[in-house]
A = this chain, B = another copy of it.
Amino acid sequence: MAEKRKKIIAVIGGSEPSPEEARLAEEVGRELARQGAILVCGGLGGVMEAACRGASSEGGTTVGILPGDSPKAANPYVQIPIVTGIGYARNVAVVKSAQAVIAVGGSYGTLSEIAHALQNGIPVIGLNTWSLSRNDKQDNSIILVKNPTEAVNKALNIT
């Protein structure tokens, strides 16, 4: 008989985070592992690497969905590299594979992932990240939180 699946949470963010963002991402990874969730991310450096390092340090499982053609591009804390070869179209797969998405900082790639998540009705929890308005009206879809523990609690309990 198959067991119940673990929850999968995506951590998204840029490859050149501030030290504070890297610290936040690592703590998000640690907390996800402590609470038994699988971490999925884009598999590269920066926020992705920090989150995977955190999760690994607590014995968690890490999956990196890579844009390129080789598992060698994965950061060393990715345990399961998925090699898509589809470039940044893989951003869609990163968010669709998750029950919720935690965004830490990030640039336009992260923004595209936030947008794809919201388009698919997948909750986005934000730490120091984008805010959006449309036609001068604030869009409050991103759930703002104050710290990594709150981010993980929201991500695991919202869905």
Contacts and interface: CB of A to CB of B under 8 A. Distances in A.
B85 A82 contact: no
Given A82-B65, A96-B83, A129-B135, A119 B108 contact: yes
Interface size class of A (residues with CB under 8 A): 35 or more
Counted per complex, copies of this chain come to: 4
A93 B97 contact: no
A80 interface: yes
A96 B115 contact: no
For the complex of A and B, 5 pairs with smallest distance between CB atoms: A112-B115, A2-B76, A108-B119, A89-B89, A111-B115
20 contacts: A2-B56, A2-B76, A5-B71, A8-B80, A38-B80, A63-B63, A69-B120, A83-B96, A83-B97, A84-B89, A84-B96, A86-B86, A87-B87, A87-B92, A106-B134, A108-B115, A108-B116, A108-B119, A112-B115, A133-B133
